[in-house]
Amino acid sequence: MKTIALIAHDHKKDDMIAWCLKHERLLTKHRLVGTGTTARLVTEKTGLEVYPYLSGPLGGDQQIGAAIATGKIDI
């Protein structure tokens, strides 16, 4: 099991949701995390459980960056 971070700019959130739906079977085998709004929208639209960090503008990008740097996020 890998931890996968999902981050999408406001204008790309629909693309992220579509990508998650396309790969839903594979993604269910992993732990998903994401910046606040992306995590919420992916969870609402796909049913995938995505652990939310803060929203990007509130520091979520930095939180995910720190988790990558410390080996807590794989992809």
Query: Is 74 among the residues known to form the active site?
Result: no
Phi first, then psi: what are they for 58, rounded to 5°?
-100, 5
Q: Which residue in 72, 69, 9, 64 sits closest to 41, CA to CA?
A: 9
- Kindly name the residue from 14, 15, 61, 74 that is annotated as catalytic: 61
**The pair of three-digit structure tokens given for residue 40, joined into one six-digit string:** 């919420």
Q: How far apart are CA 69 and CA 45, in angstroms?
A: 29
Catalytic machinery residues:
61
